Amino acid sequence: MVQGLDTRAISIYSPILEELSLVEDRLHDLANTSIPELEPLLDHALSHGGKRVRPALTLLAASIIPTETDNPVKMATGVELLHLATLIHDDTVDDADTRRGRASVSGRWGKEVAVLLGDYLFATSATLVCDTGNLRVVRRFAETIMELASGELIEYFNTFNPQQEMERYYDRIYRKTASLFRTTSETGAVLSGADEDQIQALSRYGYNIGMAFQVVDDLLDILGDESELGKPVGNDLKQGILTLPTILLLQRYPEDNPIPLLFKEPGNTCYLERALEMTRNSSIIPDCFTVIREYCDKAISDLESLPRAESRDSLESMATYVRERSR
Amino acid sequence: MVQGLDTRAISIYSPILEELSLVEDRLHDLANTSIPELEPLLDHALSHGGKRVRPALTLLAASIIPTETDNPVKMATGVELLHLATLIHDDTVDDADTRRGRASVSGRWGKEVAVLLGDYLFATSATLVCDTGNLRVVRRFAETIMELASGELIEYFNTFNPQQEMERYYDRIYRKTASLFRTTSETGAVLSGADEDQIQALSRYGYNIGMAFQVVDDLLDILGDESELGKPVGNDLKQGILTLPTILLLQRYPEDNPIPLLFKEPGNTCYLERALEMTRNSSIIPDCFTVIREYCDKAISDLESLPRAESRDSLESMATYVRERSR
């Protein structure tokens, strides 16, 4: 059974709860290796306890066209494992000693181990995807890792750069987040034998929900409270990362804007506070809500051409859920 | 054209020099991306200037059974790119600021960039292998990355541990080095349409030559001079890593052995010097030569069942070359 899901998630996942628990079992089984050095690391990394949104998307997309194979379960396990591997490398890059209140791999075993364990899990996830026997999904999976890594690199090289175009922001969050969301639902469709139009519809659905998901994250960093986020408010700006609300702040207040000052003097909490307050008290917040709503509406309309199915309703509820997360 | 090959390598590579220069072109082309942030990184990483042993093995193995496709060239490019990605992560883990007299990626751009660039190149190499359209080689490739990463992890967790069994050493160098060598020649055979016996023969050949290659490396760390190695003599021991000669030293001199003392007091050059000297002045060195010769002889006999071909002769010369490297 999947631990730690709230009732809303259980209700959305209901058409695929059985398959999702098979994913959980497979993740758990991966910790049983013949290499004693790896066991404690894998135990720690695989009992991450997230909401399993990504494998759920793969399984929901796959079950719109009913299929007899367990390929969607293999793919969903690969997708979640890839996500866990990226978290391990992200924590290494960001020097984050904790994640969700637990020690991160790099915090507990050091960066050396985190780099190598991440590599090991990336490769393990790829072998799971190979086991589907479908080269198209394997290639899409490898491209996704390229997009994830390049998104993080682009972000890194643009930290503390106050001049960033909106187009580049959207490209960056596609790479960082929406690429993997796109892959979850697209590959679910491919593996269930959906036709090309259906595959493209579910690919767009994943893209749109992934974009919405990241904009919500970026907005919560301005609005959210620390206990909910698990990290301090304004963390992005503090790390020199511009997001939708702060790029809008720069565009709308070209004069006397605290962000360029903060980027010149990182750690100056006065500038940080002023930037956060100006963003919160402007039309930027409702405008960000509009962007989120538009992505979620597009995701919902992407589903229209698909056959009616309980899992299609779940994908629609997922889009509603993402939209409401930011309220 | 491939830069920096010596006359011996050019002679061994002669049956596949044209294909090898296509590999070089493809590697070079990878630096042309649409992402401006990545270009200087890729330029630096891809102009590594090694001997291109791994892609040469793939191409030589593939050309024993002549084939019309360019799949071996794609595979060889993927194999070299994977090797370059592992070097970037290895330098990050080992805190090595230079490699072959040039700044390493982590030395020049920092560990954050090195982690992400390595990920990007791992994934890029996987897309090249996907382009062969052959799922068997893709899966073998992913398994190789698992073996590489687990080999490095096993080494890391056993640093400064003076009690290591010989069997574990051989398993570790298989993972660290021989796994990728095995993959080079095995996948070359698969992609040229060789039959299963030929594939297995070339898989064993790659394994044996890879094992020999690593034992030579381990021996040169004891015997070599710094200018040739590009790193100080005794570097493994200094980093707490046991290899064939030093495990033999521990086995043969259980009393009054300087290695456990060195591992308790790393940085004590007296213990280091004594360990190196004891190893050099014992029967351990000729015994290591015997191990190398046995692996190379096995590699040569693995070739016997294959059709006569210029490239088969080259693979034989490669084995002789590896054997002589340690003299």
Q: Does B39 touch chain A (CB under 8 A)?
A: no
- A268-272 average pLDDT score: 95
Residue B31's pLDDT is what?
87
Please list every residue in chain B whose beta carbon sits closer than 8 Å to the beta carbon of residue A138.
Answer: 130, 135, 138
CA distance A264 to A260: 6
- Within 128-157 of B, beta carbons closer than 8 Å to A belong to 130-131, 133, 135, 138-139, 142-146, 148-150, 152-154, 156-157
Other residues' Cβ atoms within 10 Å of the Cβ of residue B100: 11
pLDDT value at residue B327: 57
Give the CA-trace dihedral at A240, A241, A243, A247, to 10 degrees: 40
Q: Inspect the interface and report whether the beta carbons of B123 and A142 lie closer than 8 Å.
A: yes
> Would an 8 Å CB–CB cutoff place B127 in contact with chain A?
yes
pLDDT band at A326 (very low <50, low <70, confident <90, very high): low
Which residues in chain A have Cβ-Cβ distances shorter than 8 Å to B127? Answer: 139, 142-143, 146
CA distance B26 to chain A (A): 17
Q: For residue A232, what pLDDT is reported?
A: 73
> In angstroms, rounded to a whole number, what is the distance separating the alpha carbons of residues A227 and A34?
39
Contact A112 B89 (CB under 8 A): no
Nearest residue, CB atoms, B150 vs list A35, A89, A146: A35
Q: Which residues share a beta bridge with B99?
A: B102
The Cα–Cα gap between B233 and B215 comes to 15
Q: How far apart are CA A198 and CA A204, in angstroms?
A: 10
Using CA atoms, how far residue B273 sits from A2, A89, B235, B264, in Å, is 56, 38, 11, 15
CA distance readout (Å), B286 to A253, B174, B245, B264: 75, 22, 10, 29
Contact between residue B81 and residue B30 where contact means Cβ atoms under 8 Å apart: yes
Residue owning tokens 């030589």: B60
Mean per-residue pLDDT of chain A: 93
Closest residue in B to A138 (Cα) is: B130
- What is the 8-class DSSP label of residue B175? I
For B70, half-sphere exposure in the C-beta direction (CA atoms, 13 angstrom radius) is: 12
Question: Which of A224-228, A276-280, B92-96 has the weakest average pLDDT?
Answer: A224-228
Chain B contact present for A112, CB below 8 A? yes
At B199-220, the pLDDT tens digits run 999 999 999 999 999 999 999 9
**A20-43 pLDDT tens trace:** 999 999 999 998 888 888 999 999
Per-residue confidence band for A66, with pLDDT thresholds at 50, 70 and 90: confident
Of residues B242, B251, B237, the one with CA closest to residue B287:
B251
What is the pTM for the complete model shown?
0.94
Element (H, E) at A98: strand A98-99
Whether A41 and B153 lie within 8 Å, measured CB to CB: yes
Between CA A51 and CA A45 the distance in angstroms is 15
SS3 B103: strand
Has residue A325 got a pLDDT over 80? no
Considering only CB atoms, A153 lies closest to which of B120, B148, B152, namely B120
- pLDDT of B293 reads 96
Give the lowest-confidence range in A1-10, A114-123, A286-295, B76-85.
A1-10
Its ipTM equals: 0.94
Q: How close A31 comes to chain B (CA, Å)? A: 13
User: Rounded to an integer, what distance in angstroms lies between the CA atom of residue B155 and that of residue B152?
Assistant: 5
A295-304, B182-191, B220-229: the lowest-pLDDT one: B220-229
Nearest to A152 among B111, B116, B138 (CB): B116
**Do the beta carbons of residue A191 and residue A132 sit within 8 Å?**
yes
pLDDT, tens only, B38-62: 999 999 998 867 889 999 999 999 9
Minimum Cα–Cα distance from B34: chain A residue = A150
Res A50: pLDDT: 83
pLDDT of residue A67: 87
Q: In chain B, what percentage of residues exceed pLDDT 70?
A: 96
Per DSSP, A243 falls in state -
Q: Is the pLDDT of residue A304 over 60?
A: yes
Residues B110-132: tens digit of each pLDDT: 999 999 999 999 999 999 999 99
Contact A37 B122 (CB under 8 A): no
Is B142 in contact with B105 (CB distance < 8 Å)? Answer: no
Q: What is the mean pLDDT of residues A61-78?
A: 95
